[in-house]
Amino acid sequence: MQFPGSLADLQALVDVIPNPVVVKDRANRIVLLNKPACEFLGRSSEILLSNRDEDLFPADQVKGFHEADDRVFQSGVMDEREEQVTNGLGATRHVITRKQLVVLNGVSHLVAVVSDVTAYREAEAHSRYLASHDVLTGLPNRSFFKECMEQVFSTGSSRCALLYIDLDRFKEVNDSHGHPIGDELIIQFAQRLTGVVRASDTVARLGGDEFSIVLTNLVEGSSIETVCQRILAAASQVFILSGVHVRVTASIGVALTQHGPVEQIEMQRRADVALYQAKDDGRGCWCIYTDELDRRFKHRRSTEADLRDALADGTGIEVYYQPLVVIQSGEVIGFEALARWRHPTRGMVMPQDFIPVAEASGLITALGERVLRNACLDAAHWDPPLRLSVNVSPLQFVQGDLVGVIERALEDSGLDATRLELEITEGVLIDDANGTLALLKRIQALGVKVVLDDFGTGFSSLGYLRHFPFDKVKIDRSFITDMIGSCEAIAIVKAVIFLGKSLGMEIVAEGVETSGQFDLLLDLGCTQAQGYLISRPMPIQHFKGPILRDEGTRHPFLAG
């Protein structure tokens, strides 16, 4: 390009350009530049004039500059490129440089116009970082981690492992101490996780309290258990969070690659199955995926889905009843309502097969409400008006309106509230003693009695008897089973009977299966009993008449 003026005219032109502009001759010497260029290079024009690239920039950058300059001088075609340049302050800047050949007074010169795009590129890089990393911990996020898994597991070139890690009961930390403390816990746990794995392994935060790790290049015989132990140890050490001491545990699900590539979605599924089992095993532990574990998991999920359908359409859920008798007379004074499920293809599903599934999935709340309502409807028609006992799960205490559920069941059925007894276990009392106490008093204010079930299986049973207003206590079946041949078990049962009577509570022995147990309970002064000796749970229509005990004595209890 021919410039129709002098060097001074060119200087005047570049002085009004806001971008750095440098003009060089064929010998690579600076012949003129503007003020923005002086500021970019960190020197005055007097110093910079006649300098070459070698005087101003690192050697690796100079080589690229010269190659671009030579192309422009030889071809006359403008060159535009984005590059990283070290400025006069030693900082690396992202720039777009446009170089154009200009003929001035018959002499070829090169004009370089520089646009500093550092802020733009840094903003782009930050956006990419935010898109791929967790803001709170700085770890890779779910999206980035998915790409990492795809690369690792699709090749199958080495033995690898995928770990899913959850902090147990993290919600309780948030609820008790607030979300800022919860965030600190997440940050510190993330730091501990990165400290127990190799630099070649990848740790990610998937969201909430969910973390994941990909372990690569595992040698045969290497112990994944050792890694899991380190993680559990890191989680179990006390966290000091803004002066608050917090202790937690973690659960880990592990999926191992065997031979050859594996779809990352399948690896995620396997790790999730193993994590589910670790939590089901009691938390604070790890579980490694196996095909048998997967089979059980699928069966459980199928059971959950079918149970959900049964609760939704109101079919298959039945109530069975087990009688409660006065030991002294054998008189039946009431029934405990027990949930049963008649599956359309599997037949009668045992409680031990679906109650844990209902509890783990949260369906226990709907199931409990269904059993309570139907049992109240049944009991309202009993003649004579015997007592009805219904179990209440811990989840029913913390989810929904339990008092409202009870009131509606009583109102819809017309059952006298004084005939209803609600059985709770010690697990209800552990987490929120004050809240539970208030709720129990509201229930009793309706006229409903409260029963402590499975007494003796927890850690603070005696304290519960003292602080909570129970109307009745049911001694756990394990003590009744052990009475024959165990002086210790007899002593415990005797002490509970004495203590309950002293506190004005009725005492029931659960799981009575033999005449020997029944007679011993009679001698010990226990007032009520329940168990297979008296009757197994059955539909209420089976009790329309007398009940036969082993001794042959018949005890009428329902008209019919």
CA–CA gap between residue 173 and residue 179 (Å, rounded): 8
Q: What is the DSSP string of 187-251?
A: HHHHHHHHHSS-TTSEEEEEETTEEEEEE-SPPTT--HHHHHHHHHHHHHSPEEETTEEE---EE
Beta bridge partners of 162: 214, 255
- Please state which architecture CATH assigns to domain 2-121: 2-Layer Sandwich (3.30)
Nearest to 424 by CA among 366, 467, 468: 468
320 near 538, Cβ under 8 Å?
A: yes
H or E stretch covering 92: strand 92-104
CA dihedral 25, 27, 33, 39 (to 10 degrees): 160
CB contact at 8 A, 213 and 201: yes
Please answer whether residues 196 and 224 qualify as being in contact, where contact means their C-beta atoms are separated by less than 8 angstroms: no
Task: Quote the radius of gyration of the chain (alpha carbons, Å).
Answer: 39
- Walk along the chain (560 residues) and give the pLDDT tens digit of each residue: 778 778 888 899 999 999 999 999 999 999 999 999 999 999 998 999 999 999 999 988 999 999 999 999 999 999 999 999 988 888 899 999 999 999 988 889 999 999 999 999 999 988 888 888 999 999 999 999 998 888 888 876 678 899 999 999 899 899 889 999 999 999 999 999 999 999 889 999 999 999 999 998 887 656 788 999 999 999 999 999 999 999 999 999 999 987 667 888 999 999 999 999 999 888 899 999 999 999 999 999 999 999 999 999 988 999 999 999 999 999 999 999 999 999 999 999 989 999 999 998 899 999 999 999 999 999 999 989 999 999 999 888 877 789 999 999 999 999 999 999 999 987 777 666 778 888 899 999 999 999 999 887 755 556 667 778 889 999 999 999 999 888 988 998 999 899 888 889 999 999 999 999 999 999 999 999 999 999 999 999 888 654 333 333 334 433 33
Give exposure, 88-102, as e/b (b: 16+ Cβ within 10 Å): eeeeebbbebebbbe
**pTM, rounded to two decimals:** 0.68
Where exactly are the structural domains of the chain?
Answer: 2-121, 133-289, 312-555
Residue 326 has which token pair? 């006065």
Contact 21, 113 (CB under 8 A): yes
**φ/ψ bin of 454: left (φ > 0), alpha (ψ from -120 to 50), beta (otherwise):** left
Contact 281, 274 (CB under 8 A): no
pLDDT of residue 40: 92
The span from the CA of 402 to the CA of 398, in Å, is: 8
Strand partners, 95: 83, 116
Residue 546: its pLDDT value, please?
Answer: 43
Of residues 353, 327, 381, 330, the one with CA closest to residue 521: 327
Residue found under tokens 């539909």: 539
The neighbour count for residue 427, using CB atoms within 10 Å, is 13
Q: In residues, how long is the chain?
A: 560
Maximum Cα–Cα distance across the chain:
130
Do the beta carbons of residue 482 and residue 510 sit within 8 Å? no
First to last CA, the chain: 115
d(CA 38, CA 15): 11
Does 133-289 carry CATH code 3.30.70.270?
yes
Give the CATH H-level superfamily of domain 312-555.
EAL domain (3.20.20.450)
* Sign of CA pseudo-dihedral 374, 380, 384, 389: positive
